[in-house]
Amino acid sequence: MTQWRLRSKRGPSGKLIQSHGKKRRMDAGRDFYPATLGKVKAVQIRTRGGHSKNVLYSSDCANVMKDGKCVKAKIITVKDNVANMQFSRRNILSKGAIVDSDIGLIKITSRPSQDGAVNAVFVRAK
């Protein structure tokens, strides 16, 4: 379901604020489609102003900064996700998620659904 980026109908005190216009296409956001663990699948979508954005639907590898060098790590499972408790159960990749990989625990620093890549930093070895 589309998320609308409109001003709240209520003020800080709870009073009703009169709307200043109707809904426009620019006020509508995209549907929530989280990046999950799986075979790599990415698409390019059109954004405002004719620009484009790479959206990652699923990925099974991450670019990890370890000891000042970038290495590619295979993701095994999502251990913890501070954004939502259910995300770790559903293996959803989002910024700040602690992920178990073949080189150890890593923390995701990019926004996969926005950036189109999974970048991470090394946390600790297994």
Find tokens 């999974």 and name the residue.
118
In a domain, residue 3? The reply is no
In a domain, residue 9? The reply is no
In a domain, residue 27? The reply is no
Number of domains within the chain: 1
In a domain, residue 55? The reply is yes
In a domain, residue 26? The reply is no
Find tokens 């001003």 and name the residue.
7
In a domain, residue 88? The reply is yes
Q: CA torsion sign, 122 to 39 to 83 to 87?
A: negative
- Helix, strand and coil percent figures for the chain, each rounded to 5: 10, 45, 45
Torsion of CA 4, 109, 114, 40, to 10 degrees: -130
DSSP single-letter state for residue 3: P
Q: Which domain holds residue 85?
A: 35-124
Model pLDDT, residue 39: 96
pLDDT (tens digit per residue) in 62-119:
999 999 999 999 999 999 999 999 999 999 999 999 999 999 999 999 999 888 999 9
CB 100 within 8 A of CB 76: yes
Q: What is the CATH number of the domain that holds 67?
A: 3.10.290.70
